[in-house]
Chain A
Amino acid sequence: MEGEKRPNGLHGYWRANKTLIAVLLVIWALVSHVFAIFLARPLYGVHVGHLPMSFWWAQQGSMIVFVILIFVYAIVMDRLDEKYDVHEDRPPRGKRPGGGAK
């Protein structure tokens, strides 16, 4: 993070953010639309516990993954905010050794 100029930094920050969003949304679509809807019949024969797998994705698994996705986004964005020096919570003083901002 030393040599980065501000405009470039912001550009990189936004691109990193978009990449992260894209990855998480692919998982989001996979566990809901794909596993629970489009593959509902093929996955019906496989089981999670006593439930057909597609049914489990439809009524349990997808929701659990959704929660995890949002927490992952919040946590990774904390790191990106720090890395590109765009975080809040303290005055914009430029460089300061990284670590727990709070």
Chain B
Amino acid sequence: MTVEVWTYILVGITFAAYLYIGYLNRVRDTGGFYVAGRGVPAIFNGAAVGADWMSAASFISMAGLISFMGYDGTVYLMGWTGGYVLLALLLAPYLRKYGKYTIPDFVGDRYYSTTARIVAAIAAIFVSLTYVAGQMRGVGIVFSRFLNVNITVGVIIGMAIVSFFAVLGGMKGITWTQVAQYTVLIVAYLIPAVAIAWVLTGNPIPQLSFTFSDIVDRLNQIQTDLGFTEYTMPFSAKPMIDVFCITMALMAGTAGLPHILVRFYTVPSVRSARYSAAWALLFIALLYTTAPALAAFARYNLIDSLNGKTIEEVHQLKWVQSWETTGLLGFEDKNGDGKLELSPDPAKSEMKIDRDIIVLSTPEVARLAPWVVGLVAAGGLAAALSTAAGLLLVISSSIAHDIYARLINPEASEARRLLVGRVMIFLAVVVAGIFGIYPPGFVAQVVAFAFGFAAASFFPVILLGIFDSRTNRAGAIWGMVVGLGFTAFYIIGNKYFGMPTFLWGISAEGIGTVGMVLNLVVTFVVSRLTAPPPLEIRKMVEEVRVPRGAGAAVEH
């Protein structure tokens, strides 16, 4: 059977499974719709967090990105995993004890302020919407590359699938499909990685062959021979301070992203919130420790199989043929000697390559069976759809719960709230789909900034809300204004108005770290200069710190 037939079969089977699971988990009340009835066991919530977290970008682009950045690719590896330590130790258990539906709920209650609730809801919508646009685009791209379907059609198919299980099942439907999607995506990621590790080093476990075989030595050797710096050399892409700041901003941003935080409302107890964070990171690390190995293997294989060959020889490679037609891979014999030469100097290098190829072409490069290629397509779709679903729920709950049910119509009946939730999630799917079909140019940049904004707003506000009972409304509001204001000023100034990165050369991607520190300092100082929060708020903080009674919080 051909690659295309296999792809149709595997994508078809997985999609049918998601629809079936979504149908089984349809819900009838808002508790089920927003927090899956708080009945998700820790290990499954961990898998759902993993799927929620690992997006089309993690699955398709990250290994390629690392492959081109070398050592400095660690900003993504450590940044997007280290945040879970902050989340698990500093936020998740207490949010579960507090036990309502959304993050704006917590911010609004803890700071006894409707303004804070609205600001938090808008920030949650903004972060999630920019993020989800990229996911829908990812669905379209996978469809177009593997199945020769028009991107628009691909996006519409994705929208139909997501809206089915999200509208029917809300958080419950999303959670259980995410568990299935995690399984699909991790299997699809590991099989090609294991195969290429086996082919190149004779050791099938990517993490071990990366560390203990001489593959990276050989890669460093070829790189130096060609005039590149060593693959493992630190700070060849970015200076040290920037690597630190970007890593830190991604860590704090990860811990402050609403679609991840709300997942911890869905478990039955504080204890299971702690364990599900641990499972989540274990599941995520399975992919994240494989990615750098894959990055190095693919880079070695690419240079080794192409450099110095004649252009004709290169064109006889089957995977080169198939990727050249997509326009993502191209060769040009610039010096006219008939041979392919790679060079760190873009003016001399005779190959043009899109970094997404690193993951997408691995099965073909490693000469794996056609069904593996189909599996990778199914995995990429699982990654994109699961992340999209989690984000869509946050958008829907911010509007339907935080704004509609809490502010506009507090008298609304349960049935009406549920209906508004369903309608909102459907509208969110449509908006995300439109962004996916007509991607606004700023989306790629904005996704990176979502982390900076989350680091400079949600993370400090929730952290101090739990650990410092003296933090009050004035402190939190000023902290957010200063933190967000500074971060936005620096990013917008630098990206759109050519402002130099005047703060020790920290890039726009890393400035969230400074914004976070500013927020923490301002919140702390202003809180101490103004009246302490009311007694019931301090009681609430005391309550949140102790696990006992979390079951009761279900009844809110």
Contact = CB atoms under 8 A, between A and B. Distances in A.
A63 B289 contact: yes
Interface of B: 66, 71, 73-74, 77-78, 81-82, 84-85, 88-90, 93, 207, 210-217, 232-235, 240, 243-244, 247-248, 269-271, 274-275, 277-278, 281-282, 285, 288-289, 292, 467, 542, 545-551
A51 B211 contact: yes
11 contacts: A33-B244, A41-B234, A48-B211, A50-B212, A50-B216, A58-B77, A58-B78, A59-B73, A66-B82, A67-B282, A78-B271
A13 B269 CA distance: 18
Contacts of B235: 40
Contact of A88 (B71, B82, B232, B550): B550
A70 B284 CA distance: 13
B234 A24 contact: no
B270 A74 contact: no
B373 to A, nearest CB: 27
A73 B240 contact: no
Contacts, number: 143
Contacts of B274: 70, 73-74, 77
A88 B78 contact: no
A81 B271 contact: yes
Interface residues of A, number: 46
Contacts of B217: 50
B425 to A, nearest CB: 31
A71 B207 contact: no
B36 to A, nearest CB: 18
Contacts of B240: 37-38, 40
Contact of B275 (A28, A37, A66, A74): A74
Contact of A24 (B73, B85, B212, B542): B85
B299 to A, nearest CB: 13
B189 to A, nearest CB: 15
Nearest to A21: B89
A50 B207 CA distance: 12
B279 to A, nearest CB: 9
B85 A59 contact: no
A51 B210 contact: yes
A83 to B, nearest CB: 12
